[in-house]
Structure formats: structure tokens, C-alpha cells
Amino acid sequence: MAAAEATDARRAAVLGSPITHSLSPALHRAAYEALGLTGWTYDRFEVDEEALPAFVDALGAQWAGLSLTMPLKRAVIPLLDEISETAASVEAVNTLVLTEDGRRVGDNTDIPGMVAALRERGVEQVESAAILGAGATASSALAALSRICAGEIVAYVRSEARAAEMRQWGARLDVDVRIADWADAADALRFPLVVATTPAGATDALAPSVPERPATLFDVLYDPWPTELAARWSMFGGAVVSGLDLLVHQAVLQVEQMTGRAPAPVEAMRTAGEHALSARRQSP
């Protein structure tokens, strides 16, 4: 699925709505600089579902690809010539690569990005895992866990509607997922791997329940950071994987696909992301 070989002037961008918060430009531009791709540019564009088809149709030969965030990950699928098995498994595309012959190929780098972020912290396989939440990110988490979890996966959810969604994703991914009530979410913290996919503040009340010897927490948030749960987890000596780790590793795969260059410079991209977040927090 590699893009054409790097040329002097190529374009890429991230699309979504809202998009001003995106760290993708910082990550991709840092990669281009480290790889010596001086003619490559990476921008951000505010694009909603209605405007997406026209934007994609207008892409010229200089375009290498697009990163896609909400609400475009599903909306882009009908516009593609090909979609990877990974993206099809969760009906979500976050990467569009334009091939030399102009074909539009969609992939999902969030799932292997999660696996890579965990592997970086020494988590290759676990016997069981828990997911906190059941939104869009939870389906990607379930798909990632299907690759590394040998046993039970338990999803803690707030409503029967969310429970039904997780059961459907489990069936689609051929994963045996057990549903538990959010009222019992503190029980999740004793699993070998906990993946928190909830919005900011949703897990704060769980922080006092962190066990004395926690294992690994993957909290998909990165701003604000650390979350109360992640801070207490670290204080007790547990391993913590952050949303920035996920963002970096999914972007690494995007850079490799769009530029045809591998490996992408992980540390340069991470440093750029950290600096961008620091600048954001310091700005009034």
C-alpha cells in the first residue's frame, strides 16, 4: 500500500471537524524534516461530511494522502477504491493513500498503532484485558486487543445501548467480549491491561480505586494529561501508555504509507508532539 516514491513537492493533510486542535501537522512535519523531505507539506483543513466528496475529488497528482479524524472516518469509505481488512473490520478509515495510478486506498492505523504503543512499553501479550467505555475508540481498542489478548476481554459500559454496540463489535471482530456495568468499573483496574477510551473526566472517580500494584493502563487521552487515573496509576508504579503514544504510532504508520519511507522517525515525532502540547498549555 506504499505511496509513490518521495518527490520534491508532495502534499498531505489532516481533515476533520473540528480540526484546529489536531497535533497531526506537528507530527508529520517533524517526520518530513527528519527524513529530508524538504519539498513535502502537511496542512489541516476544516472539512465536514458534506464537504468531503468535493475535497477528495479535487486532489491533484501532487497529493500523497490524507489523515482523517472525526466525523470523516466512516464517511470517506464510499469514496475509496480499496479498503484494508483492518479498516473494514471496524468500518473506520483514518488514512487515505493516493497511489501512483490515482487510486484511493483506505486504511486504519489506529489499531496497529495501539498495538505498537503497547509493544513499545513491553506489552506483547496479555491473558485478559478490560475496556472502559464503548464509544468509537472502544471498537478500535477491541480490534487491537483481539491481536494481543489470549483470554477474556471485559467492557465496562454505562447503558444497554452501548452494551449492544460492544456485543455487535465483538461478533464482527470474532472476539468474545463480556459486558459489565459501569458501576463496577473499579473492578477493571485489577486486569493485566486496562484500556480507557472515555472522555476527559469520565474516569476521575476511579482514581482512588487503583490497586497497590497496578499492571498497565492505556489511557487514550492526551490533553489534559495526565488524567487523574493515569497520575495515580503512575504514582503506584504501574505502566502507563498515553493517547500521545497512540497518536505518534498511528502517525508513524501514516508517514510510512504516504512517503514510502520506513522506518519513520518515532522519537522526532514524539518530541514534536510533546512540544506542541506544551505550547498549547502555555498559551492563554
Is 150 annotated as catalytic? no
With a threshold of 0.75, does the pTM exceed it?
Answer: yes
Tens of pLDDT along 104-158?
999 999 999 999 999 999 999 999 999 999 988 999 999 999 999 999 999 999 9
| pLDDT tens digits, 71-116 | 999 999 999 999 999 999 999 999 999 999 999 999 999 999 999 9
Residue 3 pLDDT exceeds 50: no
For 114, phi then psi, to 5°, come to: -65, -45
User: Does residue 58 have a pLDDT over 60?
Assistant: yes
Helix (H/G/I), strand (E/B), else coil: 224:
coil
> Quick one: pLDDT at residue 282?
84
Residues 6 or more apart from 81 whose CB is under 8 A from it? 103, 104, 105
pLDDT > 60? residue 1: no
Which of 196, 156, 202, 193 is CA-nearest to residue 177? 156
Task: Please state, in angstroms and rounded to a whole number, the distance separating the CA atoms of residues 142 and 166.
Answer: 9
Catalytic residue among 73, 104, 162, 270: 73
The pLDDT-based confidence of 5 (bands split at 50, 70, 90) is very low
- Is the pLDDT at 6 greater than 60? The verdict is no
Instruction: Tell me the residue length of the chain.
Output: 284
Give me the amino acid identity at 106: G
Rounded Cα gap, residues 56 and 220, in angstroms: 29
Model confidence at 179: pLDDT above 70: yes
What residues have CB less than 8 Å from 129, skipping those under 6 apart? 145, 149, 152, 153, 154, 191, 192, 193, 194, 195
pLDDT at 284: 66
Q: Say what the pLDDT of residue 283 is.
A: 76
Q: State yes or no: pLDDT of 2 exceeds 70.
A: no
Collect all residues with Cβ–Cβ distance below 8 Å to 160 and sequence separation of at least 6: none
Q: Return the percentage of the chain with pLDDT > 70, whole number.
A: 97
Q: Where are the alpha helices (DSSP H) in the chain?
A: 24-35, 52-57, 85-90, 110-120, 136-148, 160-173, 228-235, 243-259, 266-282
Q: Please list, in sequence order, all residues whose beta carbon lies within 8 angstroms of the beta carbon of residue 236, skipping any fewer than 6 positions away.
A: 210, 211, 212, 213, 214
On the question of pLDDT at 164 being above 80, the answer is: yes
The mean pLDDT value for 26-33 works out to 98
pLDDT band at 9 (very low <50, low <70, confident <90, very high): confident
Predicted confidence at residue 19, as pLDDT, reads 97
Least confident span in 4-13, 63-72, 254-263: 4-13
Task: Give the mean model confidence (pLDDT) for residues 272-279.
Answer: 96
Say if residue 270's pLDDT is above 50.
yes
